[in-house]
Amino acid sequence: MKFRWVRDCLLRAAIIVLLSVGVAVFATAALAANVDYEGETLGPVPPNTPLVFDHPLYITALAESDVTDGVACAPNCPDNGTIYQLSYGSGFAGFLTISGDPSCLECNPFDLFKIDVAEPSPGSGPIGLSFLGTTATGESLQFDFVSDGVFDGPGGQPDFETVVLPDTFRDLGNVGILVTAPYLGVAIDNIIVEEIQAAPALTPWGLGALVLVLGVSATRFRHTRATAR
């Protein structure tokens, strides 16, 4: 009897330890998202006011920008038939930042894969863009891009084109978009990102605890049945 009591106590202690370790150890999972501005309120966005999306990603323009569908300002702004953000500033004054929650000290890093960009107005010609990334470990990245200069407003030719970021743009803390020339701003849409999240997972320790729990339950069930007979 005493032996059984000691055995049960040891088993309970083992289960508690294994469950604690099993739950405390996390695996990483990725949460893909397309920031496409659909459902956002149309209108001006004051300078330096982050647009917050339904996952921990913030888009901040240092200069004034508009969330627009390209209709109200036609034919003077680009069009892709959907809602997007048009920033009017340029150089560092027009810096657009893609980041996790700026107030969060331990926010999840993200990967940036693609982003659609367009010239901000007719006659601007090709625009120069510098994508300046900072990784979660503080490493600096830069990718320069020159747009195709195609802009004819609603309909006609596609005003937007897709920038594919190099595969170094992973595990990022933030990415800034610098409009280098001709300093008129830039339109952005469809920011394809993947947030790297810590997610609870059943580790081998957690699995061990589960097996122990089931084993003990089965033993007790057999013991109860034998006693009842």
Closest distance of CB 51 from Ca ion, Å: 13
Give the nearer residue to Ca ion in terms of CB position, either 150 or 216. 150
Cα–Cα separations (whole angstroms), residue 106 to 65, 127, 166, 176, 201: 28, 35, 25, 19, 20
| Stretch in the footprint of Ca ion (CB under 5 A) among 15-23, 146-154, 177-185, 205-213 | 146-154
Give the nearer residue to Ca ion in terms of CB position, either 119 or 209. 119
User: If binding is defined by CB under 5 A, does position 40 make contact with Ca ion?
Assistant: no
Among 8, 139, 144, 152, binds Ca ion (CB under 5 A): 152
User: If binding is defined by CB under 5 A, does position 156 make contact with Ca ion?
Assistant: yes
User: If binding is defined by CB under 5 A, does position 88 make contact with Ca ion?
Assistant: no
User: If binding is defined by CB under 5 A, does position 189 make contact with Ca ion?
Assistant: yes
* Cβ atoms within 10 Å, residue 28: 10
Closest distance of CB 185 from Ca ion, Å: 13
User: If binding is defined by CB under 5 A, does position 159 make contact with Ca ion?
Assistant: yes
User: If binding is defined by CB under 5 A, does position 69 make contact with Ca ion?
Assistant: no
Residue 197 phi, psi (nearest 5) = -110, 150
User: If binding is defined by CB under 5 A, does position 150 make contact with Ca ion?
Assistant: yes
The one-letter code for the residue type at 20 is: S
Residue nearest to Ca ion (CB): 82
Backbone angle region of 153, left / alpha / beta, with phi > 0 → left and psi within -120 to 50 → alpha: left
User: If binding is defined by CB under 5 A, does position 102 make contact with Ca ion?
Assistant: no
Q: Which two tokens stand for residue 15?
A: 């289960």
Closest distance of CB 56 from Ca ion, Å: 20
DSSP reduced 3-state for 64: coil
**Cα separation, 193 vs 133, whole angstroms:** 13
Cα–Cα separations (whole angstroms), residue 125 to 69, 86, 195: 21, 16, 34
Give the nearer residue to Ca ion in terms of CB position, either 36 or 64. 36
User: If binding is defined by CB under 5 A, does position 36 make contact with Ca ion?
Assistant: yes
User: Nearest Cα to 190, choosing from 87, 117, 100?
Assistant: 117
Q: Calculate the dihedral angle through the C-alpha atoms of 100, 105, 107, 109, rounding to the nearest 10 degrees.
A: 80
Q: Which two tokens stand for residue 28?
A: 């990483």
Q: How many residues contact Ca ion, by CB under 5 A?
A: 12
- Residues at the site binding Ca ion, with contacts judged by CB under 5 A: 36-37, 82-84, 118, 148, 150, 152, 156, 159, 189
